[in-house]
Structures are given as C-alpha cells and as structure tokens.
C-alpha cells in the first residue's frame, strides 16, 4: 500500500534540501526510511511532503585531523564493516552490526538512527561513549552539537525544524603508554537479531597492567527517557581496580544512574537486573582482555 504523502521532493544538494524543508513546515526528511515508512504506515507520524536525502552526497566515512567522520546517510552495514571504525571505535561497529538484521543494516542510516531519537537507538550509547560530535545544518548555517546534548526526550532531539544531521565525528580516542583500551557494545532482547533492545550497554575504559581503570565511560540504552551516560558509576570506577566487591557496589550505584519504565518489551525491574549483569560482564571482560 502507498504511504499517505502527497509529494516527494528529491533535492540534489544539501542547500536545496534545507530550502525545501524550510519552505514546508509539514515536510519530513527521509533517508533509509526504515523507521519513517513504518511510522507513516502506522499513523505515528504524518507528513504531506517527504524530502528524500538520497542525492545529497552524505554517504561515506573519511578520516580527518580530528578523527573519523561518518556521513549521516551512511548505512549501518558500511559502518559495521569499516576497518577504521572497527579498530578505533569497536562499540559503534558492534552496535551498527546488531541493528535490525542485514537488509535493515544495508538501508538504515546513522543519521536516521539519531534523528529518530528513540531511547532504544543502538548507535546512541556507542556514540555517547565515543564522545561523538554531530554537525547539524539549517538554512541559517551549520552548528556542532555533542551527542550528549542531542537527545532530549523519547522521539525528541536538539534537531530544530528544517534542520538536518550532516555528519557524525568520532574524535580520535586518547591513548596512554602502558594502558590498554577496552571497548564493547552489548544488547539484550528477546531474540538475538532483528529486535529492539530491552537494555543496551556501550562501555569504554583504559586498563592499566594491574587492572586499574581510567577514562571509564558507560552509556545505556532503553533505561531512561534518552540514552544515558552512567556518570555516578563512572566516577566510582575511575582510578580503581574492579574486584568482586567493587563490581557489586558499581551495580548498586548504577541503579541511581538509570530510570527504566515498564513497557511492551520488558518490565523496569528486569531492566534494572539486566543493566547490573551487563555492567558486571563488562568489568570482568575489561579485566580479562
């Protein structure tokens, strides 16, 4: 069945796309369409006009002085397979490879996953951990927004009306002599593939030879109105060695960093337990690796 829209505009440049969006307050931007088409079909979103971002040249991954820059229209499959992303930002590569299933990963874009602003967006915890910076553009100009300031509420982001995400910058991670970087992404769902996360964790830490952690960054999905950093837990763990006692304490402190709710996918109580388990496993793996 056709989706209920009256017009599809196919601009050939970012400037044209921004002008089209600015001129039509009821227009919706569409890239991969894997969220937008479902939402239009179900009536969860309405639009008279769709602005198709296919011809804007926003696809691709490049290296710059600042780090790795991923075009907003780059599909998950490309991100998951990119050797540079896999080496320097494995949590993001793993998250991209666990969204939907392969045909979705070949179509769903990084920008779309963020613009949709779902608390369950799998790339979001990874980008929080990477300290990613988003480049946004509107007809008045470009601005850079740290991903930590991007998510405001379920379905709501810092993206202004008629504004587009152009790219996502992953700053080059810091290194220190004698310290090993450990990074991972894990999600929990009722099935391994093709599932919306009940809970997800992206974590990164530098591990010293004796197991002492520094630069601990932990971010969780699906356990708060937005994807969240677990700041209290990070502070507790920083500069310490996570032995069994500290791991238990971290799992308790973590409960104050999150505010899960009951929904169709899982009860809040389950999410709290699952978060504690994911954190414990992350700390054990970080020590072992």
Partner 1 sequence: MTERLTVTLTLNGERRTFEVPPGRRLLDLLRDDAGLTGSKEGCGAGECGACTVLLDGVPVTSCLVLAASADGHEVVTVEGLLQAGRLHPFQDSLVTRGGVQCGFCTPGIAVTGAAILARREADPSEQARLLSGNLCRCTGYTKVIDALRDSFAKGGHAKS
Closest approach of partner 1 to the CB of residue 4, in Å? 6
The answer to whether residues 284 and 209 touch, using CB atoms and an 8 Å cutoff, is: no
Closest approach of partner 1 to the CB of residue 96, in Å? 13
Helix pair angle (268-288, 244-257), 10° resolution: 140
Whichever of 59 and 172 has its CB closer to partner 1, that residue is 59
Query: Cβ–Cβ contacts within 10 Å for residue 212, how many?
Result: 16
Closest approach of partner 1 to the CB of residue 263, in Å? 18
Closest approach of partner 1 to the CB of residue 188, in Å? 16
Q: Is the dihedral of CA 240, 243, 245, 250 positive or negative?
A: positive
Q: How far is residue 42's CA from residue 30's CA, in Å, rounded to a whole number?
A: 16
**Both structure tokens of 90:** 């494995």
Q: How far is residue 288's CA from residue 233's CA, in Å, rounded to a whole number?
A: 20
Closest approach of partner 1 to the CB of residue 54, in Å? 5
**Both structure tokens of 3:** 């989706």
Whichever of 98 and 233 has its CB closer to partner 1, that residue is 98
Query: Cβ–Cβ contacts within 10 Å for residue 149, how many?
Result: 11
Whichever of 77 and 257 has its CB closer to partner 1, that residue is 77
Q: Which one, of 32, 15, 52, lies nearest residue 96 by Cα? A: 32
Whichever of 97 and 211 has its CB closer to partner 1, that residue is 97
Closest approach of partner 1 to the CB of residue 78, in Å? 9
Whichever of 32 and 221 has its CB closer to partner 1, that residue is 32
Whichever of 83 and 209 has its CB closer to partner 1, that residue is 83
Which residues lie closer than 8 Å to 27 by C-beta, 6 or more apart?
Answer: 9, 20, 21, 47, 48, 49, 50, 51, 162
Residues that bind partner 1 (CB under 8 A): 1-8, 10, 30, 32-34, 37-38, 40-41, 50, 52, 54-55, 77, 100-104, 106-107, 192-194
Does residue 250 sit in helix, strand or coil?
helix
Closest approach of partner 1 to the CB of residue 118, in Å? 15
Q: How far is residue 248's CA from residue 242's CA, in Å, rounded to a whole number?
A: 9
How far, in whole angstroms, is CA 77 from its chain's centroid?
A: 15
Whichever of 177 and 191 has its CB closer to partner 1, that residue is 191
């Amino acid at each position: 069945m056709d989706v209920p829209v009256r017009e599809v505009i196919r601009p050939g440049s970012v400037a044209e796309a921004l002008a089209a969006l600015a001129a039509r307050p009821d227009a919706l931007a569409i890239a991969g369409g894997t969220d937008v088409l479902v939402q239009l079909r179900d009536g969860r979103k309405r639009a008279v006009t769709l602005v198709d971002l296919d011809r804007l040249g926003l696809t691709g991954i490049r290296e710059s002085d600042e780090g790795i820059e991923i075009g907003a229209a780059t599909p998950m499959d490309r991100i998951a397979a990119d050797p540079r992303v896999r080496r320097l930002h494995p949590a993001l590569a793993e998250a991209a490879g666990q969204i939907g299933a392969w045909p979705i990963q070949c179509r769903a874009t990084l920008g779309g996953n963020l613009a949709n602003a779902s608390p369950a967006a799998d790339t979001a915890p990874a980008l929080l951990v990477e300290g990613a910076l988003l480049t946004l553009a509107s007809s008045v100009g470009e601005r850079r927004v740290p991903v930590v300031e991007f998510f405001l509420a379920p379905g709501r982001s810092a993206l202004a009306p008629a504004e587009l995400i152009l790219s996502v910058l992953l700053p080059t991670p810091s290194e220190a002599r004698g310290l090993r970087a450990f990074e991972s992404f894990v999600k929990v769902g009722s099935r391994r593939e093709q599932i919306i996360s009940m809970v997800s964790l992206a974590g990164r830490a530098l591990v010293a030879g004796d197991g002492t952690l520094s630069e601990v960054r932990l971010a969780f999905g699906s356990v708060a109105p937005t994807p969240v950093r677990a700041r209290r837990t990070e502070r507790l763990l920083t500069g310490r060695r996570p032995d069994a006692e500290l791991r238990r304490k971290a799992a308790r402190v973590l409960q104050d960093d999150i505010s899960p709710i009951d929904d169709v996918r899982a009860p809040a109580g389950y999410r709290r337990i699952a978060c504690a388990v994911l954190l414990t496993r992350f700390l054990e793996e970080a020590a072992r690796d």
